[in-house]
Each structure stands twice: as C-alpha cells, then as structure tokens.
A and B are shown apart, each in its own frame.
Chain A
Amino acid sequence: MIPSSASSSAAVISRSRKETSSSTFIASILGEDGKGMWPLRLSGKSSISSVVFHKLPPTDTLFLESTTRILKDPIHSFMDFQVWETPGQIDYLDPQFDVDAIFADAGALIWVIDAQDDYLDSLNRLHETLVAICPAYPTVNIEVFIHKVDGLSDDYKLDTQRDVIQRTQDELTDNGLDFINVSYHLTSIFDHSIFEAFSKVIQKLIPQLGTLENLLNALCANSGIEKAFLFDVLSKIYIATDSSPVDVQSYEICSDFIDVIVDVGEIYGFERKPPAEEGEGVEGGEPAGAGSEAELEEEQEPEAMSLIRLQNGMVLYLREINKYLALICLMRKENIEKQGLVEYNIQVFQEALGRVFALQR
C-alpha cells in the first residue's frame, strides 16, 4: 500500500501590501504533503475552496481530483482577492522554491489539518513552515483550520483543538517566535462552520473592519436591531457584524435566508417582455433559456429587500446594499412597525458604507 500521506495543508489568504492597490487581496491555500509521496488522503483544501467560493454541494467534493499545481483562483466580490491553492506534495521550503512568489503578497495563510487523521506529521510541517516564513513575512495572518470535525464528538473536538494549540505554542516558544499570533478554527464543509471560519479570516483582511463594525453598531442601536450581519452574497461569508456576540444559530438562519432569496430570485427574476402574447395556464410554457442571464442582471440591480416574520416574534430583514453585499438584520417585530424609519436608517448606513469603500479606491 502507499503510505498515508500527510493530512495537512495550508491556505494563504494574502493581501497586497502596496497601499495603492489595497483592494487586491491574494488568498492562497497551501497544501502540503508530509512525506512528499502521492497525496492519498487529502486534508480537504480543494473541497473547502470549492464549497465556499464555488457553491459545490459538500457531498460532491468526493469527486474532486487532487491538486497538482498551484491554483490561483481570483474571487471578485466586494473586494477582489485571490485564493491560491497549493498542492500537498510541493515542498516549498526547498531553497529552490520561490517562497517570495507565494508569501510576498499574502494576507493570510490558512493551514488545513485533517482532524480525522493522524495529524502529527501535518503539525510538524506547520511548525517548520511557521518557523521558516514568519520572521520574514510578519504581516501574514496565520489561520489553522482543524478540518473534518463533523465526524467527531464535541469532547474530542475540543481535545484535538487543545492539543494542536498546545503543540504549536510550545514549538513557537522554543524557537523564540511566541509573538506570532495564530488563530484556530474547527471546521467542516458539511455545516456552516467553514463559512464562519472563512468569515473570520476575511474579516481580518479588511482594513475598514473597525469602521464597518462601528457603523453596524450605530445602526443596531438606533433601529432596535438585535443583530446585524453584512454578508457577501455569493460566498455567504459575513464580512462584518455588530459587536454583540455571534451565535451560530442566527448566522445559519441568515445564510439559509440568502439561499431562499437567491433561489426564488432565480425562479421569478426572469426578464418580462412588455405585454404581448397571452400566456395563461398551467405549465407556463417552454423554458425560454433566458432565465440565467436575466437572473444575473437582476442580482446586479440594487435595492432588493426581503422580510421574513417568524412565529416567535422575530423578524429577519434583508436589504441588498450593492452588487455583492447584503445586510441582514434580526429584530423584534415591534421594532419594525415603523418600517420606513428603519429603512431610512439603513439607507443612511448604505450611504456611509459607500463612502467608506469609495475612500479605499
């Protein structure tokens, strides 16, 4: 049999340092294969980027082929960034390898550890990498994804996380690098945890995050909103939220809410011709084929809004902010009675947001 290869991998989200083009972010997912053998077991780097950025159903990730070269995947969203996905078998600590090409512009390094596998190899590789690159590239955020935790019990998850943290910190201290700040996330592609983890990674790369949070806080305080998320519609990661604690449930419901909007929009967002022929009846006629284009255009139109009332008196309010972003607020129904007022506040928020992003350009 082929020896089990490493269960580790890393992803780098990187941000260009040139202030002039600060809207360009480069994210790369570095994968790594401990023994340099054919990667038999993959840690799930490709799956992660496919699920998060390309809407692949998690069950279909089984059919993904293993990555053999560095893939640069440009993401065009509210800000442009690139996800670089690097295959597991490349040894980029090799002096031959152009490390600078990867890390010079990197904003974050995401290291993926397969929690269902023996992760010691992977951890060692992580430690070597950290020791090698951190002193040279201090601006890179280090994010460790302890991945595939869906199959593990809660206790075991926490144990694994503690173990990983402990070993990594020890290693860093031994090398005198304990100033490096490493973040850890428990993730799985089968639930919302991967989106949440990515949200946090991306948030760190947004220079205006503080401002966005303050804006959201002001909006929440003045409109009786309990929780507000600013979502990137395509990837369903949230780029900012107000400073009250995030509970997973409300994040999940908001992200499912976006699904509903997108799906319903797809069905009814087709282009209407001016009244000409009478189309009445059951089947609605043949597929015109124009649906997908029409829907794309529809998404680009600003100002879509949606409201969902729940039985427990909560209201979910969604407002399209621009082409990429949507604001979702959770509030009690008493507070939405003066809907015009809330909408006005959101409009003010929207304008402020526009000014924040305009400054950056």
Chain B
Amino acid sequence: MSERKGRKKKVLLMGKSGSGKSSMRSIVFSNYVARDTRRLGATIDIEHSHVRFLGNLTLNLWDCGGQDAFMEHYLQQQRDHIFKNVAVLIYVFDIESREFGKDALVYSQCIEALRDNSPGARVFVLVHKMDLVQGEVRERVFGERRGVLEERGGGMDVRFFGTSIWDETLYKAWASIVHTLIPNLPTLTAHLRTFTHLCEAEEVILFERTTFLVISHIFAGTTPNPHPDRFEKISNIVKQFKQSCSKMASFTAFTLRAANFSAFIDVLTPNTYILVVMPAGVAETEAVVANIGVARRFFGELEGMERRERGGGGDSEPDR
C-alpha cells in the first residue's frame, strides 16, 4: 500500500438504525460520557467526520444512518461511491434486535458489496449493547451470533467483538480497529521496546491523545499482571478522569508512587500520551520524568517523519 494512500483511511460505520453507531463514535472520538449519548438523535444519511489520529493518519469516518431506506440506497444507487476504497468496515449489531435474521441478511449484502469494491478491506463486527445481556449468558449469546455471522463472512477478513459503551470493551474493540490502520506500528513498537528496556520499566503503554486508545504496549516485568484487560481499563479510567477534569482544565501529567510500583502518565508527542510503570525502588521520579523527556524528542521526530531508519532508538537515555 502506498504511503499516500496510507494517510487517509476510509472507515465505514454501518449497522441497523438504533444499534449505537453514533454513540460509539461520540464516546471514542468526541469525548462524550456514556450517559450523554442518549441526547444523540438519529443519523440521517451519512455523517462524514475526519479524525486526525496520530498526526499523519487521518481517519475518514463515514457514519452511515441505518434506516432500511438508507441501507437500500447505499446498496443500490450509491454502491460504488460507498464501498470503494474502504480500509475498514465496522458493522454494528444490536444484541437485543428482534429481527436478527433480517439484520444478518443486510450484513451479507454489505459484505458482498464490499468484496466487489474493495477486496482488501478489513471487517470488524461489533455485537453491541452487551450490557443488556446477563453476565452469565453473555459469552454464549455472543458465540451464537458470531457463529451465524461467520458463515456469512464471504471469505473476508472478519473479526468479532462484543462491546458495550458502559464498560471498557468498547475501547478494546476500537483499539484493535485502529491498530490495523497505523502504518508504522512495528517501528513504533520496536522503539518503544528499546525505551522500555533502557529505563528498566515494567510496562510501557502508548496512548493516542484524544481518544486514549492504546496504540502499543510493551511488558517487560517478571510477574505477569493479573489483569489482562488492563489496557482498556486504563483507557476508560483516564478518559473518565479527563472528563471530570475538563471542568477545570485538562490534565497533562500524572505521577503515582505506591508501595510496590510507580506509574507515570505524561504527554509524549503532540498526539500521544505514554504510561510508564516502574517496579518499586528502581528509579527516582525525576529520572523517569527525564527519560520520558528525552524520549519525547525522539518519538516526536519519529512521528513527524514518513520513514526512518531503524536503530535510532539509542539516544533516549541518561539512565538514573
């Protein structure tokens, strides 16, 4: 894929009306709280939004209204217009929908249209509003839906997520979606790994600034963390806090020193935040802050550049 094409990614957001597409978009990209989404009205036709994500990557988000009439229109008259050059299709299902058979039919039509027009596109199916299903049967219900929809995937690369705007599952799904879109992710991760080892951190997580989605993370500790879903949790926690801070001012840096770890959240580049978790007693606060400061310059350059030779990661360390 050429570099130019890589900068602007077309993301289709589709699904039946009322399934929660716009709510999701507002929470992830516009800093809404879950509660506020009930104020959103129905989306008419298509709402285009451009989300700058990580500086040189722009998501061209097409939020497609889901009423039957619109869907028909998309599939007939606007077929080419809509389904051409799509990088990602996000298809949202309402778990509570009573006409699942019909939803699935529309879904397979969309997949077909997508396969004809942009065969390389990724598809993400979000089975949404999972919070409305009781905790014990959630897994089973999700599995059933997934089974039906997998058959209709039409050979496309499809991934499934159960989501809810009321917990961190939303962030998990969106982080995976965004991961597929970041062009220089391997490079970024490699440098992040170097940084992690240089400052002897236990864990380093890179977040996008506005959405607080996880871009990349490196774990270098010895004891596995008992919380495998911690990335989404942190996204959620920090985002909530940002919300409550917003009445005063947004926060820029966070330090926590507890008995057996210390955690630092700081701005890394104009588009990213970094979280560094240090085991107890390894480094002074100032040393970590200084390390982040040095890394900031480097990662800033990395982000600003199209391409950069590997191996430049070494300049990020005046250790302790």
Binding site for B on A (CB under 8 A): 249-250, 252-253, 256-257, 259-261, 263-291, 294, 298, 301-312, 314
Bound state CA distance, A272 and B226, in angstroms?
11
**Chain B interface extent, by class:** 35 or more
**Contacts of A288 on B, CB cut-off 8 Å?**
223-224, 226
**Contacts of A259 on B, CB cut-off 8 Å?**
237, 240-241
**Contacts of A256 on B, CB cut-off 8 Å?**
240-241, 244-245
Contact at A279–B248, with CB atoms within 8 Å? no
Additional 20 contacts, C-beta under 8 A, given A272-B280, A290-B226, A305-B256: A259-B241, A260-B241, A268-B225, A270-B225, A271-B223, A272-B221, A272-B260, A278-B222, A279-B219, A282-B217, A285-B228, A286-B228, A294-B260, A301-B258, A304-B257, A304-B258, A306-B254, A306-B255, A310-B248, A311-B251
B249 within 8 A of A: yes
**Contacts of A304 on B, CB cut-off 8 Å?**
256-259
Some 19 contacts from A to B, beta carbons below 8 A apart, are A249-B247, A256-B241, A256-B244, A257-B241, A259-B237, A264-B263, A272-B261, A275-B222, A282-B219, A284-B227, A284-B230, A285-B228, A286-B228, A288-B223, A304-B256, A306-B255, A310-B251, A311-B252, A314-B249
B132 within 8 A of A: no
B234 within 8 A of A: yes
Among A249, A285, A314, the residue within 8 A (CB) of B224 is A285
Contact at B241–A309, with CB atoms within 8 Å? no
**Contacts of B258 on A, CB cut-off 8 Å?**
265, 268-269, 298, 301, 304
Contact at A268–B261, with CB atoms within 8 Å? yes
Interface bits B204-245 vs A (CB < 8 Å: 1, else 0): 000000000000010111111111101001100110110011
A267 touching B234 in the complex, CB below 8 Å, given contacts A259-B241, A284-B225, A312-B249: yes
Bound state CA distance, A304 and B255, in angstroms?
11
Closest to B256 in A: A306
Contact at B277–A273, with CB atoms within 8 Å? no
B250 within 8 A of A: yes
Q: From residue B243, how far is it (CB to closest CB) to chain A in Å?
A: 9
A310 touching B249 in the complex, CB below 8 Å, given contacts A259-B241, A260-B237, A301-B258: yes
